[in-house]
């Protein structure tokens, strides 16, 4: 019996429905599996494909001087980016509009805009005035596809002031020199990650680019430097470089009672805001990384050892014939003179080589090198600055008598300027050698104290009695001997000059006619508060330390002692109160004619210390600052006529 057509149709429908139900069940099962079993894993994969993380660095901590003045700061700056796909004008046209503002080549910007993708950096870390001009152009020309992102940029508001001490930071926010390098782990802000959604090529999607919201800022560093003293030092150093034509120079100012470094400057120098425009030689902090033969300044250490051992007395007499021969080597006096029968006081006062050779031979190799080490030579000081050298000392077991003789006059050894001022400060500090330091304290981001520096005695180099005897002898160097140009009226200054032949770079002997002039000393003698070392490398013309280095020290002593309100002997110095300004503060009428050889005093009232010093220096006048802040009075009236080289006392008050 033939099948009924209607039955077959129903059967086929049933089979079809059954298959569809099975397919739906399979799909539903698969969906359930994907949704509930593999859901988390698949979701994570999608997120990873559409999102990448961006590591953000918070601003670095601020570096301050001892008075809380900012020396290095981090500010939020804007960086320009573009979404090429959103541009509403031709890339060449856009590049021509913005390239003059950015100071970049239009071709380079056009290439960036035509590189494809949804995100491209145009220029990073722009100055505020550049951002303002860009915004004006973008608005005026209705440019689409551009945006700004905030990033942190390091600024040095005083430009080159203390440049080698501060160092600088690279574009990856890593300290590359100076305090920035030494304290990088503490100064650096915290890292955090922020998500960015990307397209199928991994490029950031325009509207999802992150907004810079930095985490907690890094710790702040408070240095022992005083920016006013640093400024005085750098002005004096620049003046010395101009007058002596020295190739390089270094000055350090230290408090000998606690080891605090008040100023540290080197020349040549650079501006850390544009460090890439300068050479590594200009970045170099010569105060810690320059080794040289100290010459006669080292004689203070030889004298200290001999006095401590009782091998010489101040009034002991020496016979100077102008030269001495040791192991076949002839050593003469720097002056080529013979002084005859003299005392040890004269030996120190006139820096007589023959006398020091005899004293050094009395000490012998072992004791001579031991006292050098007692005063910190031949080893790093441990100051918080990178690149410190340890210098060079003899091995006493391999010293000949000629080596003892040359070491006794500061030759055949190598020291750093920081080692020298640390040693001279030990003499000023009753014979106690202190560890020098340049960091006063470190604060957390919330202002709480993280750590503070302490005075760290290293050792008693010589007894207090020996130190006091030597101080009286070093005072005569300045008051009666070769260091007279370091003297300051009203203050008792002690010190030692030095003039050393300059070694060849390959160490194969000395360079004929090339010298290193230096001075190391402290004041006031009755209670030393300021120690200074001045090093002038290869001055042109006159090269003696007493002639070219001592005057620099004298100028700095004069300004710093007054700035610190250290009263001159026999003088009662009281800075004028704000309500007791001198009558000379009022400018006089501008002179109709200026006599030959005279200069006109500029008006510095209302100016900062730097501006006042610059204004006076521009016409050949010196400045003696009193107080801090803004100039409120000056000892010589504006527009008055004075002799070039005169000093103008300027009184400052906080505002």
For the stretch 458-492, pLDDT in tens is 999 999 999 999 999 999 999 999 999 999 999 99
Higher-pLDDT residue of 438 and 511 is: 438
Map tokens 């490398």 to a residue.
Answer: 537
Per-residue pLDDT averaged across 540-558, rounded? 95
- Contact call for residues 35 and 27 (beta carbons, < 8 A): no
Confidence of residue 644 (pLDDT cuts 50, 70, 90): confident
Confidence of residue 579 (pLDDT cuts 50, 70, 90): very low
Q: Which helix (H) or strand (E) holds 194?
A: strand 191-197
Give the integer Cα–Cα distance in Å for 290 and 390.
10
Predicted pLDDT of residue 580? 39
Predicted pLDDT of residue 262? 98
Terminal alpha carbon distance of the chain: 120
pLDDT tens profile 389-444: 999 999 999 999 999 999 999 999 999 999 999 999 999 999 999 999 999 999 99
Three-state SS at 536: strand
- Please say if the pLDDT value at position 592 is more than 80: no
Peptide bond into 524 cis (omega under 30): yes
Q: What token pair was written down for 507?
A: 């160490």
Pairing between β-strand 622-626 and β-strand 647-653 as defined by DSSP bridges: parallel
Three-state SS at 81: strand
Predicted pLDDT of residue 24? 84
pLDDT tens profile 235-292: 999 999 999 999 999 999 999 999 999 999 999 999 999 999 999 999 999 999 999 9
Confidence of residue 326 (pLDDT cuts 50, 70, 90): very high
Average the pLDDT over each of 426-430, 508-512, 584-588 and give the range with the smallest value: 584-588
CATH 3.90.1310.10 fits 54-222, yes or no: yes
Per-residue pLDDT averaged across 557-566, rounded? 93
Predicted pLDDT of residue 211? 47
Alpha helix ranges (H) inside 85-211? 91-102, 106-113, 128-140, 163-166, 178-182, 184-187
What lies within 8 Å, CB to CB, of 315 at 6+ separation is: 343, 344, 345
pLDDT tens profile 130-178: 999 999 999 999 999 898 887 778 899 999 999 999 999 987 778 999 9
Per-residue pLDDT averaged across 525-546, rounded? 95
- Please say if the pLDDT value at position 585 is more than 50: no
At the topology level, CATH places domain 583-653 in Trypsin Inhibitor V; Chain A (3.30.10)
- Please say if the pLDDT value at position 612 is more than 70: yes
Percent of the chain residues topping a pLDDT of 70:
87
Closest CA to 410 of 546, 301, 320: 301
Q: What token pair was written down for 34?
A: 């994907």
Map tokens 């030095």 to a residue.
Answer: 498
Burial of 2 per CB tally in 10 Å (0-12, 13-18, 19+): exposed
- Please say if the pLDDT value at position 318 is more than 70: yes
Confidence of residue 572 (pLDDT cuts 50, 70, 90): very low
- Please say if the pLDDT value at position 523 is more than 80: yes
Alpha helix ranges (H) inside 103-226? 106-113, 128-140, 163-166, 178-182, 184-187
- Look over the chain and give the mean of its residue pLDDT values, rounded to a whole number: 87
φ/ψ (deg, to 5) at 649: -80, 125
pTM given for the model: 0.78
Higher-pLDDT residue of 118 and 631 is: 631
Per-residue pLDDT averaged across 110-121, rounded? 84
Predicted pLDDT of residue 630? 84
Burial of 343 per CB tally in 10 Å (0-12, 13-18, 19+): middle
- Contact call for residues 376 and 340 (beta carbons, < 8 A): no
What are the DSSP E strand ranges found in 15-101?
51-57, 63-64, 70-82
Predicted pLDDT of residue 571? 47
Per-residue pLDDT averaged across 592-621, rounded? 85
Closest CA to 85 of 115, 52, 54, 122: 115
Give the integer Cα–Cα distance in Å for 229 and 241.
18
Give the integer Cα–Cα distance in Å for 50 and 45.
9
**Cα–Cα distance list, 542 to 513, 536, 549, 644 (Å):** 11, 11, 11, 22
Higher-pLDDT residue of 579 and 35 is: 35
Q: What token pair was written down for 244?
A: 């002596």
- Please say if the pLDDT value at position 4 is more than 80: no
Q: What is the CATH number of domain 228-563?
A: 3.40.710.10
Please tell me the chain's helix, strand, coil percentages from 3-state DSSP, rounded to the nearest 5: 35, 25, 40
Predicted pLDDT of residue 5? 62
Alpha helix ranges (H) inside 163-319? 163-166, 178-182, 184-187, 227-244, 280-283, 286-289, 299-308
Higher-pLDDT residue of 610 and 135 is: 135
Predicted pLDDT of residue 6? 66
Predicted pLDDT of residue 44? 59
- Please say if the pLDDT value at position 13 is more than 90: no
Beta-bridge partner residues of 560: none
Higher-pLDDT residue of 90 and 12 is: 90
**Cα–Cα distance list, 343 to 308, 331, 436, 593 (Å):** 18, 20, 35, 56
- Please say if the pLDDT value at position 583 is more than 60: no
φ/ψ (deg, to 5) at 618: -60, -25
Predicted pLDDT of residue 508? 66
Kindly list the domain boundaries of the chain, sorted by start residue. Answer: 5-37, 54-222, 228-563, 583-653
Beta-bridge partner residues of 204: 198
Closest CA to 103 of 139, 133, 135: 133
Predicted pLDDT of residue 212? 44
Predicted pLDDT of residue 574? 41
- Contact call for residues 83 and 145 (beta carbons, < 8 A): yes
Confidence of residue 7 (pLDDT cuts 50, 70, 90): low
- Please say if the pLDDT value at position 368 is more than 90: yes
- Contact call for residues 455 and 259 (beta carbons, < 8 A): yes
pLDDT tens profile 206-239: 555 544 454 567 899 999 999 999 999 999 999 9
- Please say if the pLDDT value at position 547 is more than 90: yes
Higher-pLDDT residue of 175 and 205 is: 175
Map tokens 């055949």 to a residue.
Answer: 412
What lies within 8 Å, CB to CB, of 511 at 6+ separation is: 501, 502, 503, 504
Per-residue pLDDT averaged across 109-130, rounded? 85
Predicted pLDDT of residue 173? 78
Confidence of residue 196 (pLDDT cuts 50, 70, 90): low
Higher-pLDDT residue of 51 and 149 is: 149
- Please say if the pLDDT value at position 354 is more than 70: yes
Map tokens 């001045």 to a residue.
Answer: 534
Helix 227-244 to helix 550-563 angle, to the nearest 10 degrees? 160
Give the integer Cα–Cα distance in Å for 253 and 260.
9
């Amino acid at each position: 019996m033939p099948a009924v057509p209607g039955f077959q149709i129903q059967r086929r429908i049933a089979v079809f429905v059954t298959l569809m139900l099975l397919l739906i069940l399979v799909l539903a099962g698969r969906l359930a599996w994907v949704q509930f079993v593999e859901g988390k894993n698949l979701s994570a994969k999608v997120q990873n494909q559409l999102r990448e993380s961006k590591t953000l660095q918070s601003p670095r901590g601020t570096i301050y001087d001892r008075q809380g003045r900012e020396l290095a700061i981090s500010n939020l700056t804007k960086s320009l980016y573009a979404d090429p796909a959103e541009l509403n004008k031709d890339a060449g046209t856009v590049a021509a509009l913005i390239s003059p503002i950015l100071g970049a080549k239009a071709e380079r910007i056009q290439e960036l805009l035509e590189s494809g993708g949804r995100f491209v950096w145009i220029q990073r870390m722009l100055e505020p005035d550049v951002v303002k001009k860009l915004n004006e152009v973008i608005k005026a020309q209705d440019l689409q596809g551009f945006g700004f992102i905030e990033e942190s940029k390091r600024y040095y508001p005083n430009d080159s002031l203390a440049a080698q001490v501060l160092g600088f930071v690279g574009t990856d926010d890593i300290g590359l020199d100076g305090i920035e390098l030494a304290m990088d782990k503490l100064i650096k802000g915290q890292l955090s990650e922020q998500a960015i959604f990307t397209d199928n090529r991994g490029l950031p999607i325009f509207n999802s680019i992150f907004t810079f919201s930095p985490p907690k800022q890094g710790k702040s560093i408070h240095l022992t430097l005083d920016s006013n003293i640093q400024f005085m030092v750098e002005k004096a150093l620049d003046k010395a470089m101009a007058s002596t034509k020295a190739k390089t120079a270094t000055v350090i100012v230290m408090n000998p009672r606690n080891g605090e470094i008040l100023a540290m400057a080197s020349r040549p120098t650079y501006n850390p805001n544009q460090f890439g425009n300068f050479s590594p030689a200009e970045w170099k902090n010569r105060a810690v990384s320059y080794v040289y033969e100290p010459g006669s300044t080292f004689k203070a250490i030889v004298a200290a050892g001999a006095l401590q051992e009782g091998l010489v007395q101040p009034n002991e007499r020496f016979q100077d014939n102008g030269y001495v021969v040791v192991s076949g080597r002839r050593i003469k006096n720097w002056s080529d003179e013979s002084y005859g029968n003299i005392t040890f006081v004269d030996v120190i006062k006139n820096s007589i080589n023959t006398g020091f050779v005899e004293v050094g031979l009395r000490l012998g190799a072992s004791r001579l090198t031991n006292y050098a080490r007692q005063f910190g030579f031949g080893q790093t000081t441990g100051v918080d600055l990178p690149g410190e050298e340890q210098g060079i000392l003899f091995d006493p077991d391999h010293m000949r008598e000629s080596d003892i003789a040359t070491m006794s006059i500061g030759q055949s050894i190598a020291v750093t300027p920081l080692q020298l001022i640390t040693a001279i400060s030990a003499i000023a500090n009753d014979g106690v050698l202190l560890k020098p330091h340049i960091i006063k304290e470190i604060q957390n981001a919330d202002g709480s104290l993280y750590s503070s520096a302490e005075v760290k005695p290293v050792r008693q180099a010589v007894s207090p009695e020996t130190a006091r005897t030597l101080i009286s002898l070093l005072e005569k160097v300045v008051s009666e001997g070769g260091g007279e140009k370091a003297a300051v009226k009203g203050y008792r200054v002690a010190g030692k000059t030095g003039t050393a032949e300059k070694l060849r770079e390959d160490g194969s002997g000395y360079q004929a006619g090339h010298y290193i002039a230096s001075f190391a000393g402290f004041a006031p003698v009755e209670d030393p508060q300021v120690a200074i070392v001045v090093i002038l490398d290869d001055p042109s013309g006159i090269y003696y330390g007493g002639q070219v280095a001592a005057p620099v020290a004298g100028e700095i002593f004069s300004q710093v002692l007054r700035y610190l309100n250290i009263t001159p002997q026999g003088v009662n110095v009281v800075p004028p109160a704000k309500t007791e300004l001198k009558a000379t503060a009022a400018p006089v009428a501008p002179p109709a004619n200026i006599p030959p050889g005279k200069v006109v005093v500029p008006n510095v009232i209302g100016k900062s210390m730097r501006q006042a010093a610059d204004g006076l220096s521009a016409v050949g006048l010196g400045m003696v600052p009193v107080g801090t802040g803004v100039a409120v009075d000056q000892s010589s009236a504006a527009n008055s006529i004075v002799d070039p080289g005169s000093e103008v006392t300027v009184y400052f008050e906080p505002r």
